[in-house]
Amino acid sequence: MNKLKADQEGRIRLRCHFSIIIESVWQFWLVILIFLFNQIDDVLDFIRSLDDGTLREFMAGGGLIGLLAILALTLLVFLWQFFRWRKTLITLDGNLIIIERNTLNKKKSTIAIENVSAVNMERNLFERIAGTYRLKLDTNSMTTANKTDVSIVLREDVALAFRQLIIARMNILKGGQSQMAEERQPDKLTQAALEGIRVLHCGKNDMLKHMLYTLPLLSVLVVVAGLAAAIYFSARYGFDTFLRQAVGGFIAVVLMVLGSMYNIVKKFFRYYDFTVYRDGKDLHVSCGLIKLRSYTIPVDKITAIEIDQPLVSRLLGRYNAKVVTVGLGDEEGESSNITLSLTAGELKDWLGVLVPEYDFAAFDSLMREESCGAAVRAVKAVKWQVALALAVFALLRLTAWPAWIAIGAPLAIDLFILLLYVLSHKAAGYMILEEGMIVRSGYFALHYALFKYERMQSMTMSYHPVAERHGCGCGLVSLLNSTENIPYIKKESANEISDRMIGGTK
């Protein structure tokens, strides 16, 4: 802890690493490069014409002033960021984290350590070169649930020591030991296994399998359709002709295919070297290739466990679990996974190791929702039959479409909607237990949620006339930062849930 020096009053004062200024200037230049890219045709024409002596004309016609203006703006950005960096302090005063910005617009934020829900670290390529980490703190506040509350860049050893100190004080407030465990470098979390701690570590084969089990089928269809269309037109008309006559469409297809391919493979980069283990009352998760992310999740801040089973995973009997907690998974690229794709037995085993508080996870043996759910859906489906009849009538009378299209198109849509009704009824399930409850929903993919009664903030039940005749209803549970659907259950079961929510587990 000698990396953190306290003053005479025991306060630790820090300032972000100087590299944050360079990173801000680079972001400014990135905006300029994007602007130039949008004008790429003009830029290429200018470069090709340099041999004609146009550079001198360009400089004389105001180009020099423009370049000087850009350099002046760069200098202004640098000076402003330097001023902000110099005037911004992070202070750890007892159990308070204070962020002061003494610029023209003074700002002071104070966060109590007991309200911190997640202590995360990440580093991009620039931060790896600079030898820094970005430390991200999130609180339980729902007003800032969609963004990080505190984000500071510190030198690697200082960031590790600072996070270690915050986690230690969080543990003290939770009644834990005051001794601070050694903070692990996020690239080396697997070393915890040497100390007898069970570590879930996924190698390249595990990540490739996870990519397969969680394939986004829409992206796959786009890639296949785009490549098939390109091959067909190239084979029929010739690639050169295709490029000359349909260059705009070709570029659009290429961008669409590349975007879909990235959507397929991005999980490999995001979950590269996925590692998670339980240490005391905290979960430690690390993953990422291009951007390394390291999460420390206090278990008592978890509001629910979600288990997802995408279509491919459902067909192959795989599940992946993630936690629901404020401050994790609320930003682009963040992941709240605590496992990758596992079999049901493997997932139960690892949930017992990582979050034994949720060992009631009998997610593969739930009760089906009450049969009245099918009757309610059948009644709701009547409106689609009326809409089908009206659509067919309008298409036959008002368009010149062939009868098979005028009837077939609305019918196909109607059958698909009816299929969704059937699938949602078959997927809906629940289980009411002493510790908490489990609910399941979905269509082609399945979604499970495990939560305790003490985490439920409210429950709203709705009684459709058809369901009420059978003494049933469906509902919505509000947790701290998420909501979950309750399928059709008996009124007695709803009352039992309400009693347990008010009185806690008994």
| Mean per-residue pLDDT, 91-109 | 84
Query: Between 184 and 455, whose confidence is greater?
Result: 455
14, 158 Cβ separation under 8 angstroms: yes
d(CA 29, CA 81): 14
For residue 176, is pLDDT > 80?
A: no
Question: CA-CA distances (angstroms) from residue 455 to 2, 271, 303, 304?
Answer: 39, 29, 6, 8
- Per domain, the residue ranges of the chain are 12-199, 204-270, 302-369+428-503, 372-426
Distance CA 487, CA 474 (A): 5
* Dihedral angle, C-alpha 192, 198, 204, 207, nearest 10 °: -120
Task: Give 335-389 pLDDT, tens digit per residue.
Answer: 789 999 999 999 999 999 999 998 877 777 899 999 999 999 999 999 889 999 9
Q: HEC string of 341-356? A: CECHHHHHHHHHHHCH
Task: Answer yes or no: is pLDDT of 214 > 50.
Answer: yes
Predicted confidence at residue 180, as pLDDT, reads 44
pTM score, whole prediction? 0.77
Residues near 358 by Cβ (< 8 Å), separated by ≥ 6? 305, 351, 435, 436, 450, 452
> Strand locations in 348-406, DSSP E?
367-368
Per-residue pLDDT at 253: 63
pLDDT in tens, 224-272: 777 777 777 777 766 666 656 555 555 666 666 666 677 778 888 888 8
* 505-297-90 Cα angle (round to 5): 125
